Amino acid sequence: MKKTSTGARLVVAGSGDAANMRYACGFQPVDPVLLLHTARERHLVVPVLEVGRAREEAKGTRVYTPEELGLPLYDRRSIAAWAVQLLKRARVQRVRVAEQFPLGVARALEESGVQLEIASAALYPERESKSKKEIEAIAVAQQAAAAAVRAAVADIRNAHIARSGELKLNRAVLSSERLRQTIDRTLLAHDCAARETIAACGRHAADPHHRGEGPLRVSETIVLDIFPQHRKTGYWGDITRTVVKGPATPKQLLMYRAVLKAQAQARARIKPGVRADRIHKEVQDTLRAAGFRTEIVNGTPVGFFHGTGHSIGLDIHEAPSISLAPVRLRAGHVVTVEPGLYYPEDGGVRIEDTVAVTARGARVLATCPYTFELK
């Protein structure tokens, strides 16, 4: 079977390839490990420390210690040696690797006569279409995220507004940091972990990736962007809600309504066969028609200057995106829908749901109210 060697894929986890590793063989390593995936078999080399866990988690995969390959018993730095030895044994002379495959291992393989082809798109393009089981795993993470939004919104709702304009809850300042604690505790209780939870207020909310810091304040938008990874399954969820404590300004209300409308339109347009870039274009048009300009002001982008969405799975950002690329959505894609508007003087507004593309349209994986003003 010629296919064995031409179809071989090589993955080094601990290199950005971790999600590929998990997808291909179910194993989530602590230290770097190596997977050779031929058309017929999966071979996994792991440090001796990982071998017990690997044999348990990597079902249907042949697991080797370096010693079994005739290499030193333990040496964390020998992935290149493992790769050369494993491919020699398996008589594989051509492998496909991901763009992010480590250069050091690549050079060692090339010196030993192996030919490396970088996968033109993804190394595991099949990851794009999620199975029922994968969609349910994402839904579980997404429901945890929605529960965390509700906990955070409850804190903001229960807070009172001090004379200074700062929010206080149980006599202490309600800050971005404190809200993040509430969010992350809720996620933990759902066996999920988040690394970069956003709870950003005012000017910080106008910067889409600012995590937020300091006291939350009256009449400033508060962006809650929560993207947990489930610890057992490894699948991510991603949700964003924006609220304001006390009265919103007229401009904030207009921003909110425009984003809410654009988001609902985009969700309604999602179905198999639709071009993602056209959905993105419509979102841009809707926001522009509502009077919101996208431009660079003093070196800072304002308006709507990111994509409408991205796919999600074992990575938080996967292909395809709902953005500039003219790709068609298919049943089984799981994408975020997250238009936003950002102006430093007025804050930021972003509304995001994660949906599965089905024959009947977008299935929202966790519902969560779209409340804006909390009085």
Residue (316 or 334) nearer to a copy of itself, CB: 316
Alpha carbons 242 and 348: distance in angstroms, whole number? 8
- The residues of the shown chain that bind a copy of itself, judged by CB under 8 A, are 14-16, 30-32, 48-53, 56, 67, 72-76, 80, 97-107, 116, 118, 181, 184-185, 188-189, 193, 195-196, 207-211, 231, 296, 300-301, 305-307, 316-317, 321, 323-324
Residue (116 or 253) nearer to a copy of itself, CB: 116
Residue (300 or 371) nearer to a copy of itself, CB: 300
- Least distance between a copy of itself and beta carbon 13 (Å): 9
- Least distance between a copy of itself and beta carbon 194 (Å): 8
82 three-class SS: helix
Alpha carbons 207 and 342: distance in angstroms, whole number? 7
- Least distance between a copy of itself and beta carbon 370 (Å): 23
Residue (177 or 373) nearer to a copy of itself, CB: 177
Alpha carbons 63 and 310: distance in angstroms, whole number? 34
Query: Cβ contacts of residue 175 below 8 Å, gap of 6+?
Result: 213, 214, 215, 216
- Least distance between a copy of itself and beta carbon 139 (Å): 21
- Least distance between a copy of itself and beta carbon 356 (Å): 22
- Contact indicator for 157, 374 with CB cutoff of 8 Å: yes
Alpha carbons 115 and 97: distance in angstroms, whole number? 10
Residue (30 or 268) nearer to a copy of itself, CB: 30
- The per-residue DSSP string of 236-282 comes to B--EEEEEEESPPPHHHHHHHHHHHHHHHHHHHH--TT-BHHHHHHH
- Least distance between a copy of itself and beta carbon 331 (Å): 24
Query: Cβ contacts of residue 316 below 8 Å, gap of 6+?
Result: 227, 229, 236, 238
Provide the sign of the torsion angle of the four alpha carbons 352, 353, 358, 359, taken in this order.
negative
> What burial class does residue 13 get, using C-beta atoms within 10 Å of its C-beta: 0-12 exposed, 13-18 middle, 19+ buried?
buried
Helix axis angle, 103-111 to 79-90, nearest 10°: 40
Reading the block at residue 332, the tokens are 């089984």
Answer whether the bond into residue 32 is a cis peptide, omega within 30°. no
Total residue count of the chain as it appears in this document: 375
Residue (133 or 295) nearer to a copy of itself, CB: 295
Q: Which amino acid is at 218?
A: V
Residue (104 or 246) nearer to a copy of itself, CB: 104
Residue (107 or 281) nearer to a copy of itself, CB: 107
- Least distance between a copy of itself and beta carbon 163 (Å): 29
Alpha carbons 203 and 182: distance in angstroms, whole number? 22
- Least distance between a copy of itself and beta carbon 30 (Å): 6
- Least distance between a copy of itself and beta carbon 52 (Å): 4
Residue (164 or 300) nearer to a copy of itself, CB: 300
Q: How far is CA 84 from CA 64, 235, 339, 365, in A?
A: 14, 32, 47, 44
